[in-house]
Amino acid sequence: MSKLRVGLLFGGCSGEHEVSISSAKAIAHAFTATANASKYQIMPVYIQKDGCWQVGEVAQQVLATGMPPQIAAESLTAVPPTAAREAANSQRIQRWQLPVQVAEVDVWFPILHGPNGEDGTVQGLLKMMQIPFVGSGVLGSALGMDKIAMKMTFAQAGLPQVKYVAVNRSQVWSDACRFPTLCDRLEAELAYPCFVKPANLGSSVGIAKVQTRSQLEAALDNAASYDRRIIVEAGVKAREVECAVLGNDYPLASIVGEITYTSDFYDYETKYTEGKAGLQIPAPLPPQITAQIQEMALRAFEAVDAAGIARVDFFYVEATGEVLINEINTMPGFTATSMYPMLWKASGIEFSELVDRLVQHALERFKG
């Protein structure tokens, strides 16, 4: 029986490029160093930060080293305007031309996080190729990415969440009269502390916890520099717990895990500095709270029309016993020590079995 060729698509044009490489490295290992090797053949496809797709040696090299390739020194030196224009044009053509080898892919495993990877854009391209792929389609990915659309969908599904206000960049960078009115409204509706977030990023980039009017103003201005769409949320004092989901129409919810840290909130530095955050699996919770989180995770998965894989994050307000949904991630971090595979390992599904199941779910979803 010939092996199924899995296109492992990684890297990408987002701030989570490096995380994607780490995830891809772990996934490639699970396809090649286990019983999966008799079933699957991996084709690594690396998307450079400039959007160009690379196969063969370049992609293999990135996987092997776990690092993006060094940019050649000559590409950084100044070039005359006409030459720069020609170079830009040829780069565009390169970006639009996919390597011919991708025609050999039987099923895609896009392990891309954040904008241009987890937001429906790549999913649209893969759908147009008419090749099965792991994870959510265009709608689920887009709803899972945009925090405003996501929260509106959760509200419609009756999932409890923090109070929020959607803001547009034009309201922030408006005339000097409208901006104070916006801040007045945010203070009245949400109070302090509140969280200001670009709606479409991830990894806590551009997110600020604000306690005062001047912090609010600065945070809105900063968030507007990242995104046209901004969300401001009432802050809650809560434990952060996460649940993994696997499947399509009959998804399974994993054991629940907890993120622990000592910083003020789970910011970029805490997420990516070794030793600043810990995972506790299973989360020490009353059994009925665990069951409630699992049930809400499945409802959230269904509400956004997710597929295959998702990690759903919650706030558990211990003081009141309330569970509030924070977000769904349709392509969560997938390194050997990431929450998603760790939750499944604790639930009885090893990393290698997990990637196998995800590919099988991709094939199942493609059939309809």
Ligand X SMILES: Nc1ncnc2c1ncn2[C@@H]1O[C@H](COP(=O)(O)OP(=O)(O)O)[C@@H](O)[C@H]1O
CB closer to ligand X, 129 vs 234: 234
CA–CA dist 146, 231 (Å, integer)? 10
CB closer to ligand X, 207 vs 245: 207
CB closer to ligand X, 19 vs 107: 19
CA–CA dist 92, 86 (Å, integer)? 10
Minimum distance from residue 223 beta carbon to ligand X (Å): 12
- Does residue 207 belong to the site contacting ligand X (CB under 6 A)? yes
- Does residue 235 belong to the site contacting ligand X (CB under 6 A)? yes
CB closer to ligand X, 2 vs 320: 320
Residues in 326-345 at the binding interface with ligand X, rule: CB under 6 A: 326-327
Minimum distance from residue 312 beta carbon to ligand X (Å): 11
Minimum distance from residue 144 beta carbon to ligand X (Å): 10
CB closer to ligand X, 147 vs 361: 147
| Peptide bond between residue 193 and the one before it cis (omega within 30 degrees of 0) | yes
- Does residue 148 belong to the site contacting ligand X (CB under 6 A)? no
Which segment (52-60, 66-74, 132-140, 234-242) binds ligand X by CB under 6 A?
234-242
Which segment (2-10, 84-92, 228-236, 245-253) binds ligand X by CB under 6 A?
228-236
Minimum distance from residue 193 beta carbon to ligand X (Å): 8
Residue count of the chain: 368
Out of 60, 61, 203, 222, which residue is the one contacting ligand X (CB under 6 A)?
203
- Does residue 202 belong to the site contacting ligand X (CB under 6 A)? yes
CB closer to ligand X, 98 vs 272: 272
SS3 annotation, the chain: CCCEEEEEEEECCCCCHHHHHHHHHHHHHHHHCCHHHHCEEEEEEEECCCCCEECHHHHHHHHHHCCCCCCCHHHHCCCCHHHHHHHHHHHHHHHHCCCHHHHHCCEEEECCCCCCCCCCHHHHHHHHHCCCECCCCHHHHHHHHCHHHHHHHHHHCCCCCCCEEEEEHHHHCCCCCHHHHHHHHHHHHHCCCEEEEECCCCCCCCCEEECCHHHHHHHHHHHHHHCCEEEEEECCCCEEEEEEEEECCCCEEEEEEEEEECCCCCCHHHHHCCCCEEEECCCCCCHHHHHHHHHHHHHHHHHCCCCEEEEEEEEEECCCCEEEEEEEECCCCCCCCCHHHHHHHHCCCCHHHHHHHHHHHHHHHHHC
Out of 41, 171, 204, 215, which residue is the one contacting ligand X (CB under 6 A)?
204
CB closer to ligand X, 69 vs 235: 235
Out of 24, 63, 162, 362, which residue is the one contacting ligand X (CB under 6 A)?
162
Residues in 291-320 at the binding interface with ligand X, rule: CB under 6 A: 313
Minimum distance from residue 277 beta carbon to ligand X (Å): 10
CB closer to ligand X, 133 vs 266: 266
Minimum distance from residue 101 beta carbon to ligand X (Å): 34
Residues that bind ligand X (CB under 6 A): 162, 195, 197, 202-204, 207, 233, 235-236, 240, 265-266, 313, 326-327
